[in-house]
Structures are given as C-alpha cells and as structure tokens.
Amino acid sequence: MFIDTHCHFNFPAFVTDLDNSINLIRQAKITGLIIPAVLADHFSEILQLTEQYDELYAALGLHPIYQHSPADLEKLTAIVSEVSTHPTKLIAIGEIGLDRYDQSVEWQQQLAFFRGQLAIAKRHDLPVLIHSRKTHDVIYHELHLANLPCRGVIHGFSGSYEQAMQFIKLGYYIGVGGVISYARANKTRHTIAKLPLESLVLETDAPDMPLSGRQGQINRPENIVDIFNILCQLRSEDPLLIRDTILTNTLTLFSRINKMEIPNPIKR
C-alpha cells in the first residue's frame, strides 16, 4: 500500500486517458493520491476528480511561481469554509510556499499569499504542502510564527540535514521523491538516509521530477514504488518497517483520508 502525497493528477498527462491512469495506480497498489492545485482555476476540476475515484484526494492552494489575485485567495477561503457544512475530499492546503529560484513573481507578493494561505490552514485545522526553493530559512521562520495545529510536508526537500531537522522539530514531515534516485544528489541522499523514519512521507510530483535515467519522460505516480525501493536501499531498516511506518506517518498527518486502517509497524 502506497500513498503519493504530491501528484498533479489533474494535468493532461493523466486526465487525457483517465481510466488507464487510474488502472495503473491501482496496479501499483497506490491506495491514496493527493492532488495539489497550483492555480485557482484548477480548484473545481480537482474536487470533481476526487469525487469520481476513491483513491484521489484534494489539496487546494496557490503556487508561489504563478500570478494570483486577491479574488483567488477569496475563492480558496470560500471553498475551504464550505467543507465544514458540505464535506468534500479536501484534506490539505497546497501547493503553497516561497520560491527565490523563479523570480517571475515579486517577493512581497509571494509572502503575502503564503501568509494568507497559512492563515486559512490554521483556521480550518488543515495540513499544508510546502514548496520551498532557496527559501528554507524564511519558510522555517514563517511556519514557526504561524504555529499551525496540523503542520504539513516540506515538498521536494533538497536541503541539508540540519535544515531538515529544524522542520522536523517544528513538527513537519519531509517529502521523499525522485531526487534520491540521482547519484549526484549526495547531500539529499545522505540526509534522507539519516532522518528519523517517523518524519518521512513519499511523493512523486508527477508529471514533474522524473527519476534518474528517465529524464525527458513523463513522471508517473506509479513510480512511487521505485522511489520506495531506492529509499530502502539508502536506509538500514527492514523494508516492511519502512513501508508501514511511512504509511502510518501519512495517515497520521492527513487524518481526513478515510476508509484506510493504519497498520501497526513491523518491529525489527
């Protein structure tokens, strides 16, 4: 059983042949898949997708590298506010964060939307999916100030061990994805190998972030199995313990994922 905590399943790579895409994730034993939004225009289609298939869950948010308007933030606020009276499969706020690599969006604007979305997550006790490129220190400061009750995932983490442990001590999980498949990513591979297993979750970021040897190809959610196998090579624990602990981590954080029973991790 695997849960992909970050997959853009509403993108054309998957929805143009939706039945086949669903069959492939079922064959890979992916029992949960969280679809993060990047634009307000995606909110409705993502929610509709999650209502069609048991495996799919929604995270709604405004990605930092895109231009957004105050109306987009108001739209997010309204949708999230409706969840308490009209339950949906919305289980997180994301993909949100900060980005100093792509400077197409002015920094103060990024900060304003990030803080606004953290406030929504806090108000409604929802975890967050955090995008952070060249902004780990600022993100840490903002999350510390926000003091969210449900915390969240630092998505696509590629920082240092010390930075990862700062987030973990704050209560956040580290998203483990395809970057660990690259031999040149020594810092990230060593970091993921040493971090507490109880602080890791799996993600693909499909259709982006292809695994090593598959550059130029569309990344797919079923590649979560390969990411898991690479993680097992990096870690010293028994693969069954790794699998069950990560599943427990995911279901603990995303407590609104239903119809799944948290297993008791196998002890070594």
Domain boundaries, the chain: 2-253
95 burial type by CB count under 10 A (0-12 exposed, 13-18 middle, 19+ buried): buried
pLDDT digits (tens, 9 = 90+) for 70-107: 999 999 999 999 876 777 899 999 999 999 998 889 99
- Determine whether the annotation assigns residue 68 to a binding site: no
205 assigned ligand-binding residue: yes
If you write DSSP's letter for every residue of 152-215 in order, what string do you get? EEEET--S-HHHHHHHHHTT-EEEE-GGGG-TT-HHHHHHHHHS-GGGEEE---TTSSPPTT-T
**Residue range 3-16, pLDDT digits in tens:** 999 999 999 999 99
Q: What is the pTM of this model?
A: 0.94
8 is in an annotated binding site: yes
6 among the known binding-site residues?
Answer: yes
- Hey, what CATH topology would domain 2-253 get? TIM Barrel (3.20.20)
